[in-house]
A = this chain, B = another copy of it.
Amino acid sequence: MTQIKHNQLPGKTVERLSQYRRILYNSIREGKTNIYSHELAKMMNLTPVQVRRDLMLIGYSGSQSKGYVIKDLVDLIGRIIDSKEGQKIIIVGMGNLGRAITSYFVGKREKLFIVAAFDNDLQKTDRIVAGVPCYHVNRLKEVIEKESIRIAVLTLAPEATHEVARKLLDAGIRGILNYTSVPLTVPPGIYLEEYDIVTSLEKLAYLVKQ
């Protein structure tokens, strides 16, 4: 009778749920129907306890004999992470990284759609790039509002980052994934994820050095 309460899941748990699902998709493809916490844990470099704890938080129960039913678990994770209608995403900056991400991502998830890209280079605008229509940045607000887009990925030249971020928020974007080397600050209620490969490499270099 445990109530499913996924209102305030820990951030780390949300990330792991996404990764559980990625692995479970593969398991389904291999014909598996059930999985034990220790199997999932091994594939993710975690302890079985942590897996069970995450699943407990989302209110999913397995059986002692068969473990977890993969299909049900995938569905539940979907109900927690995905929104029913799906979420639309835009890419801003269709250079090397923007194109790599777009072509990698397209069709990857049922409920996440990259619906448009933007650039200020006329060579790239008003055509299909990496499978997605690419508009001129001065049409950001127009497209975002018309399509009710709430998530944006920033892969543009660093100089314009702040200005573009401001315009995105103004147009109604609620979540930003920032890959530029310029850190952003966003008001409360807006979600921001940042990632820089240099940080990852410097961390590795520090660890390896020890």
Which residues of A pack against B, CB within 8 Å? 7, 9, 11, 14-15, 18-19, 22-23, 42-45, 80-83, 87, 89, 95-97, 99-101, 103-105, 108-109, 111-112, 150-151, 153, 174-177, 181, 183-186, 191-193, 195-210
Bound-state Cα–Cα, A186 to B112, Å:
31
B15 contacts A201, C-beta separation under 8 Å:
no
B103 contacts A96, C-beta separation under 8 Å:
yes
Closest chain B CB from A46 CB (angstroms): 10
Closest 8 CB pairs of A and B: A96-B100, A175-B204, A18-B202, A191-B207, A175-B208, A18-B199, A97-B100, A87-B205
Closest chain B CB from A174 CB (angstroms): 5
Bound-state Cα–Cα, A97 to B104, Å:
9
Copies of this protein in the complex: 2
Quick one: which of B11, B183, B195 contacts A195, CB cutoff 8 A?
A: B195
Given A99-B96, A197-B101, A198-B105, also A81-B206 (CB < 8 A)? yes
Complex: chain B residue closest to A152, CB-CB = B204
Quick one: which of B185, B201, B209 contacts A83, CB cutoff 8 A?
A: B209
> Contacts of A81 on B, CB cut-off 8 Å?
202, 205-206
Closest chain B CB from A9 CB (angstroms): 8
> Contacts of A23 on B, CB cut-off 8 Å?
183
Bound-state Cα–Cα, A18 to B153, Å:
22
Closest chain B CB from A161 CB (angstroms): 12
